[in-house]
A = this chain, B = another copy of it.
Amino acid sequence: MLTERPEWKALQAHRAAMDNVHMRSLFADPKRFDRFHIEFGGLLLDYSRNRTTDETIKLLLDLAHACKIENWRDRMFAGDRINNSEDRAVLHTALRRPAGDIVMVDGENVMPFIHDTLRKMQSFSKAVRTGMWTGHTGQKIKTVVNIGIGGSDLGPLMVCEALAHLPERMDVRFVSNVDGAHLNLTLRGLDPETTLFIIASKTFTTQETMANAVTARAWLINAMQDTKAVAKHFVALSTNEKAVAEFGVAAENMFPFRDWVGGRYSLWSAIGLSICLAYGFETFRALLSGGHEMDRHFQEEPLERNMPVIMALLGLWYRNFWDAQSYAVLPYAQELHRLPAFLQQLDMESNGKSVDRDGKPLSYPTGPVVFGEPGTNSQHSFMQLIHQGTNFVPCDFIGTLEAPIPVGEHHKLLLANMAAQAQALMQGRTAAEAGGDTRRAFSGNRPSNILLLDRLDARHLGMLIALFEHKVFVQGILWNINSFDQWGVELGKTLAGKILRDIDDGARQDIDSSTKYLIKRFKKPS
């Protein structure tokens, strides 16, 4: 058990010793930055602003070794069935590997399958973007609407937003919510003859996605007055061939992936088709290659110079030893505005667990709440609480050295603000420094990391995403949980099915008084 390990107890003792150590005093060491940063491939992790000494890092690394991080990592990359509750391999990393590699699953090398699918994505996206692919009435496609939810939405959406500065962007939109307003507002002004739908659902049974897909299909058929139009305006990203065919998508327009790709890790698979359509296949390839670079870093670097490992350990340090129930992601790049939402799913769905890998209840906290908004906006919103509130909220700042779109002095202002926030959180301001006004005093000693990308391109973005994936993976291993299942979504689905029937048929007698009342109200809107 984690908390009984000697390495854990050593951290507990060390935590007590760190209680009154202020980062200001740690920065008395002029070499602190030198010792606490990692840089490779155009990505810098500056983790100097943490409540950590050399001893802290050493003790955390001891824990990582005791938890056999390297062994688990190698098992993941090798295709072992580490998702034990679903008896599946976890191989999103294979999607980022070069064609010549070999990755065996159940006696099959899956790399040819992966690269066949990539070639299919390449030729399809090229055909659509050049106008070789036409709609039912012979017109070029102008708009792509991706219908998916969760991992079939957040990943591609976040990437498409992040690269909005790239030239030759095709109009790609995303519909996820079952709320009819989402699809309706997205389709306004679109011409069915020039609109292509991507239906993204691993199982092709996801309630929201199928409801939206059926409504979108009706919109198309209603305009075209021909059901055959579906084959030219709908493609599917799925593992379920039968359901895809029944929906009306031609077999050659289904882009497959396998059960060893979890939803929240699926943007690298066929689920990334919308990215290929938005920016062209070469951009998607660069994203994959960035992810693969981070994979190799994670596999090859010793733990003490391993970016995802260090970030994971710092997160655990605050979650388990400083009671930080939440942490903030603060991209200083407007185009990364959906990164926090993406990381919410990645992190909270992976590590929001209360039982260990064997289903035994845990006695220690696991994954934190993740939230964030772009800087500098967050400075005019919730940063007040992070600076002066009573919660302990570690932060990850993310910036890019180059401006994606250089505009006057704007980028300099942006970066100066990011550095200043991190500095303010670290050093604070004593009441004496604030002229005796305690309201204008800051405790400081509030930790943050800075991730600095040379630029916001597909390759660096791929590195960044894979970095967080591996960070979350390492934390899952430390906590001894399965980061790759999500049983917590099940109960709500089951109960929603029952409530749906009740809205039609009248509420059961044996349910709670509130739900009973709601069902009655839903039946007959006021």
Contacts and interface: CB of A to CB of B under 8 A. Distances in A.
Nearest to A502: B416
Interface in A485-517: 485-496, 498-500, 503, 511-517
A143 to B, nearest CB: 15
A381 interface: yes
B332 A410 contact: no
Interface in A358-396: 359-362, 364-371, 373-377, 379-391, 393
A443 interface: yes
Interface size class of A (residues with CB under 8 A): 35 or more
Given A355-B439, A359-B439, A492 B183 contact: no
Contacts of A306: none
21 contacts: A29-B513, A46-B517, A85-B439, A149-B380, A176-B377, A211-B409, A341-B381, A348-B384, A367-B389, A369-B382, A369-B391, A387-B488, A401-B522, A402-B525, A415-B522, A417-B496, A420-B492, A420-B494, A424-B492, A426-B512, A427-B512
Interface in A25-72: 27, 29-34, 37, 42, 44, 46, 48-49
Given A149-B376, A371-B371, A354 B389 contact: yes
B185 A46 contact: no
Interface string A314-357: 00000000000110000011110000010011001101111100
Contacts of A352: 382, 384-391
**Which 10 interchain pairs have the tightest Cβ spacing?**
A352-B385, A180-B407, A150-B380, A352-B389, A180-B410, A420-B496, A388-B488, A371-B371, A345-B381, A33-B513
Interface string A454-489: 100000000000000000000000000000011111
Given A34-B513, A181-B403, A389-B367, A383 B518 contact: no
Interface string A158-182: 0000001100000000001111111
Contacts of A494: 420
Contacts of A183: 407, 410
A460 B354 CA distance: 39
Contacts of A420: 492-496, 498-499
A406 B208 contact: no
A179 B423 contact: no
B495 A413 contact: no
Given A180-B408, A391-B325, A407-B183, A429 B365 contact: no
A437 interface: yes
A12 B13 CA distance: 30
A518 B452 CA distance: 9
Contact of A489 (B359, B383, B503, B515): B383
Contact of A368 (B391, B417, B442, B490): B391
A521 B180 contact: no
A404 interface: yes
Contacts of A48: 512-514
A209 to B, nearest CB: 10
B411 A180 contact: yes
Contact of A500 (B388, B401, B413): B413
A180 B164 CA distance: 13
A344 B326 CA distance: 14
A512 B345 CA distance: 35
A3 interface: no
A177 B374 contact: yes
A335 B42 contact: no
A221 B419 CA distance: 33
A345 B380 contact: yes
B525 A401 contact: yes
A476 B426 CA distance: 27
Contact of A381 (B181, B348, B450, B526): B348
Q: Which of A153, A185, A374 has the most CB of B within 10 A?
A: A185
A214 B408 CA distance: 10
A291 interface: no
Given A165-B185, A341-B373, A522-B412, A359 B401 contact: no
A368 B149 CA distance: 28
A443 B344 contact: no
A413 B207 contact: yes
